[in-house]
Structure formats: C-alpha cells, structure tokens
Amino acid sequence: MGHCQAKYCYHHANELLATWMGVAESELSGTNHRIPIRPLPLKMLIGSDL
C-alpha cells in the first residue's frame, strides 16, 4: 500500500548478512529486489549471539 520501504530492508539485510558472514556486500550472491527480501532472524539483526 505504498508504505513498504523494501529497498531499505534490502540494504539493511545485505549489510547485516555481509557483516555476519565476514564478507563484503559485493560478495553476496543471488540477490535481487523483491519482497520478501532476505528473511533475517532478529538475533542477526541485533548483531549478537543470543
């Protein structure tokens, strides 16, 4: 309905995934712009090993 900030989800998810995996964002493969982007566990979003 016009409120989804998909591109930001995408950016955040990639940033976190890259950090989590210890690689550059450019090394992440198989990504594209769509919803859902990359389902991301809350613990990964927080950035801690809960």
Partner 1 sequence: MKSEVYDVIVIGAGVIGLGITFELSKVPGLKTLTIDQGYPMSGTSGATQAWVWVHSKTPSHYGRLSKESADRYLELQDELGDIEYIRSGGVTPIFSNDKLFAAKTLQDEMSKANIPVEILTKREVLELEPNLSPNLIGATYSEIDGTINPFKLIQRYRKQSEENGAEFSFYNKVIGLEKTSFGYRVMTQKGTFETEKLVIAAGLWSKDIGRFLDVEIPTYTSRGQILVTEPTERLINRVIVGMRQLNNGIILIGFSKEDVGYDRRTTLDILQNSAKRAVELVPKLKDVKIVRTFSGIRVIPDDGLPIFGEVPGEENLYVAVTHSGMTLSAILGKRMKELVTTGQTSEQMDAYSVKRFEKRGMVSG
Q: Which long-range contacts (CB under 8 A, 24 or more apart) does 2-5 make?
A: 4/35
**In terms of CB distance, is 21 or 41 closer to partner 1?**
41
**In terms of CB distance, is 27 or 34 closer to partner 1?**
34
Site for partner 1 in 5-34 (CB under 8 A): 5-6, 8-9, 12, 15-16
Residues that bind partner 1 (rule: CB under 8 A) add up to a total of: 23
Least Cβ distance, residue 40 to partner 1 (angstroms): 5
